[in-house]
């Protein structure tokens, strides 16, 4: 245990700590405890989230220098401790009588992803009715071979959602999934909030394909997921009338993502999780003499436009009062569309937002860009201009 403490201490000190999950509590009210890193007033802390069996969550910020000690002392009450750092991973298995087995995995990407499996919110060994209806598991709970990557995607997404739970209201959460398609993630999110966290949640799913909406509606009815509401319509015209705490959007094509982000900002969503795709709009606009050596190559022009599109979206979200992070959503081997924009509403002083917007507009002028998201938010930013 001393070796693990030293390794964990070093990882926390060097910024390599990712997450530690304590699960399988021997007794007491706590179901699992999760440790990650979070900043408070620009100082990094190890953030402790204790999830109790009756669905509550308790949080604490632990100073980094005391965190390894704190985590390993807490781990005594749990059957399994999964330590995940970018330089190493370890699994601690403990019996009720006190026997301890520690397995180390020195960090490389493949192994990290494997270890991450142990932190899955949905266990591959358990049957979930919604996954059966969505044809990801068979009726015995076995994940179909061809659906393994979808299962990983859903689990990875739930991990990202679990990280933003503290930024959402404690109960009565309103979620929008815009351009929901078959709504895999919405079913998982509903299940997570309603049945794992025991919170009251309503999930509004919007898509313009009537067959898909009707199929999803039927599945929700059969599952008794009575607060999943499916709306058939174009997101540019038919948005839910209710407010949104969490706005999700996965692979909403081209400017549909701009609409999603702009509406989320206007409605003051607390958290936005958006994985953009088919970013075509700016590739027909972008012009810049100094970048002509890139722009004359069509493939490179397309790739650069994708980067510009998403970077500008992040900048505009920041101007709109959001702390923004981009992350790799799934293993790039599963799909190249794996960028996730995570935005959390926070306090950003007006002068910083003004500078961000000014910088944004200057970039657009310099590169001849008129992004849809900017047009949709024109009125929203009138106080900054």
Ligand X SMILES: C[S@@+](CC[C@H](N)C(=O)[O-])C[C@H]1O[C@@H](n2cnc3c(N)ncnc32)[C@H](O)[C@@H]1O
Angstrom distances, CA of residue 128 to CA of 156, 192, 195, 226, 340: 16, 11, 11, 17, 26
Q: Which of residues 90-129 bind ligand X (CB under 6 A)?
A: none
- 301 near ligand X, rule: CB under 6 A: no
Q: d(Cα 113, Cα 330) in Å, to the nearest integer?
A: 10
- 251 near ligand X, rule: CB under 6 A: yes
Of 232, 157, 211, 148, nearest to 187 (Cα)? 157
**Closer CB to ligand X, residue 91 or residue 143?**
143
**Closer CB to ligand X, residue 128 or residue 184?**
184
CB of 180 to ligand X, least distance (A): 5
Phi-psi group of 146: left, alpha or beta (phi > 0 → left; psi -120 to 50 → alpha; rest → beta): alpha
Starting at the edge strand that comes first in sequence, how are the strands of the sheet with 17-25 ordered?
A: 57-63, 43-52, 30-40, 17-25, 78-85, 88-94, 100-106
CB of 322 to ligand X, least distance (A): 21
Contact (Cβ atoms closer than 8 angstroms) between residue 289 and residue 363: no
Please identify, among the stretches 22-30, 51-59, 248-256, 367-375, the one whose residues bind ligand X according to the rule CB under 6 A: 248-256
CB of 340 to ligand X, least distance (A): 12
Q: Give the residue at shortest CB distance from ligand X.
A: 181
User: CA-based diameter of the chain, in Å?
Assistant: 71
Contact (Cβ atoms closer than 8 angstroms) between residue 231 and residue 238: yes
User: Going by DSSP bridges, is the β-strand pair 173-178/57-63 parallel, antiparallel, or unpaired?
Assistant: unpaired
DSSP 287: -
CB atoms within 10 A of CB 184: 22
- 253 near ligand X, rule: CB under 6 A: yes
DSSP 144: P
- 252 near ligand X, rule: CB under 6 A: yes
- 280 near ligand X, rule: CB under 6 A: no
Count the residues of the shown chain that bind ligand X, applying the rule CB under 6 A. 18
- 55 near ligand X, rule: CB under 6 A: no
Work out which of 46, 121, 180, 205 binds ligand X, going by CB under 6 A: 180
**Closer CB to ligand X, residue 253 or residue 294?**
253
- 175 near ligand X, rule: CB under 6 A: no
- Mapping DSSP to helix (H, G, I), strand (E, B) and coil, where does residue 331 land? coil
Q: d(Cα 116, Cα 21) in Å, to the nearest integer?
A: 10
Q: Which of residues 191-220 bind ligand X (CB under 6 A)?
A: 206-209, 212
**Closer CB to ligand X, residue 165 or residue 250?**
250
- 234 near ligand X, rule: CB under 6 A: yes
CB atoms within 10 A of CB 20: 29
- 182 near ligand X, rule: CB under 6 A: yes
What tokens does 48 get?
A: 């402790």
Q: Which of residues 56-85 bind ligand X (CB under 6 A)?
A: none
Q: What is the CA radius of gyration of the chain?
A: 22
- Mapping DSSP to helix (H, G, I), strand (E, B) and coil, where does residue 54 land? coil
- 49 near ligand X, rule: CB under 6 A: no
CB of 235 to ligand X, least distance (A): 4
**Closer CB to ligand X, residue 136 or residue 180?**
180
**Closer CB to ligand X, residue 169 or residue 210?**
210
- 235 near ligand X, rule: CB under 6 A: yes
Angstrom distances, CA of residue 259 to CA of 84, 111, 238, 247, 360: 36, 38, 12, 12, 18
- 135 near ligand X, rule: CB under 6 A: no
Q: d(Cα 384, Cα 376) in Å, to the nearest integer?
A: 15
- The helix (H) or strand (E) run that includes residue 88 is strand 88-94
CB of 253 to ligand X, least distance (A): 5
- 184 near ligand X, rule: CB under 6 A: yes
- 376 near ligand X, rule: CB under 6 A: no
Work out which of 8, 25, 34, 179 binds ligand X, going by CB under 6 A: 179
CB of 252 to ligand X, least distance (A): 5
Work out which of 205, 250, 316, 339 binds ligand X, going by CB under 6 A: 250
- 258 near ligand X, rule: CB under 6 A: no
> Where do contacts with ligand X occur on this chain (CB under 6 A)?
179-182, 184, 206-209, 212, 234-236, 250-253, 256
């Amino acid at each position: 245990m001393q070796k693990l403490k030293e390794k964990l201490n070093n990882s926390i000190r060097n910024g390599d700590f990712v997450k530690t999950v304590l699960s399988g509590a021997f007794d007491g009210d706590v179901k699992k405890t999760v440790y990650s890193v979070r900043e408070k007033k620009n100082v990094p802390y190890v953030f402790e989230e204790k999830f109790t069996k009756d669905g509550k969550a308790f949080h604490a910020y632990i100073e980094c220098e005391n965190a390894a000690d704190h985590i390993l002392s807490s781990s005594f009450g749990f059957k399994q401790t999964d330590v995940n750092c970018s330089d190493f991973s370890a699994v601690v298995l403990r019996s009720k009588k006190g026997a301890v087995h520690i397995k180390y995995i020195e960090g490389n990407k493949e192994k990290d992803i494997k270890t991450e499996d142990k932190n899955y919110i949905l266990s591959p060994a358990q049957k979930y009715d919604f996954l059966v209806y969505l044809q990801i598991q068979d009726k015995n709970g076995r994940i179909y071979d061809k659906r393994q990557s979808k299962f990983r995607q859903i689990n990875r997404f739930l991990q990202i959602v679990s990280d933003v739970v503290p930024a959402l209201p404690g109960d009565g959460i309103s979620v929008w999934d815009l351009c929901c398609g078959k709504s895999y993630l919405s079913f998982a999110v509903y299940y997570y909030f309603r049945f794992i966290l025991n919170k009251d949640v309503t999930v509004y799913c919007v898509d313009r394909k009537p067959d898909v909406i009707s199929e999803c509606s039927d599945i929700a009815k059969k599952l008794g997921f009575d607060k999943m509401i499916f709306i058939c319509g174009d997101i540019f015209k038919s948005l839910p009338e209710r407010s949104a705490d969490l706005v999700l959007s996965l692979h909403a094509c081209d400017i549909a993502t701009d609409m999603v982000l702009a509406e989320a900002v206007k409605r003051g969503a607390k958290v936005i999780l958006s994985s953009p795709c088919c970013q075509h709009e700016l590739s027909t606009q972008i012009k810049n003499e100094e970048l002509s050596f890139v722009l004359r190559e069509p493939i490179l022009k397309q790739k650069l436009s994708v980067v510009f599109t998403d970077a500008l979206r992040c900048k505009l979200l920041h101007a709109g009062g959001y702390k923004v992070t981009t992350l790799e959503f799934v293993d790039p081997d599963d799909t190249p569309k794996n960028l996730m924009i995570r935005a959390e509403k926070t306090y950003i002083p007006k002068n910083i937002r003004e500078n961000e917007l000014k910088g944004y507009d200057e970039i657009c002028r310099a590169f001849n860009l008129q992004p849809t998201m900017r047009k949709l938010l024109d009125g929203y930013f009138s106080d900054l201009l």
